[in-house]
Amino acid sequence: MAEENKDSKWEGKSTAECPIQRTLSYEITENNLGFRCYVANMKVIDIEGGCKIEWSFMSDAVEGMRLEDLLGIEKSNLETVVEGMRKEIQAMEIEINSIFMVFVLC
């Protein structure tokens, strides 16, 4: 199923966001994987030296999909999200460094 996951398509929408509790919930609205119901929740949790992101999800059973297949899809999705976050953080650091340099030059 991992090979098929490369061709998976889905669209989702945010259903709840709370910047104070640092949580985000979203649901899949359209997909080609067979999900009728899928809701995921993310929460930022402080830990010593930084933070971690807790990701949980609830899903209906998809006909013909084993738990291992579902977890493989989730792992792939999580890796995509983490890579996106990594790029955003790197971009922010570049912007922050540029702004700092501008302040230093002024």
Tens-place pLDDT, residues 12-57: 899 999 989 999 999 999 999 888 999 999 888 888 887 888 888 8
Quick one: 49 and 20 in the same domain?
yes
35: number of Cβ within 10 Å? 19
Q: Where are the alpha helices (DSSP H) in the chain?
A: 2-5, 67-105
Quick one: 72 and 101 in the same domain?
yes
Tell me the whole-structure pTM to 2 decimals.
Answer: 0.66
Quick one: 22 and 38 in the same domain?
yes
Quick one: 58 and 70 in the same domain?
no
Banded model confidence at residue 4, pLDDT cuts 50, 70, 90: very low
In a domain, 2, yes or no: no
Segments forming the whole domain that contains residue 45: 7-62
Quick one: 54 and 36 in the same domain?
yes
In the predicted model, what is the mean pLDDT of residues 50-70? Answer: 86
Backbone angles phi, psi at 71, to 5 degrees: -65, -35
In a domain, 1, yes or no: no
Quick one: 37 and 13 in the same domain?
yes
In a domain, 37, yes or no: yes
Give the chain's mean pLDDT. 78
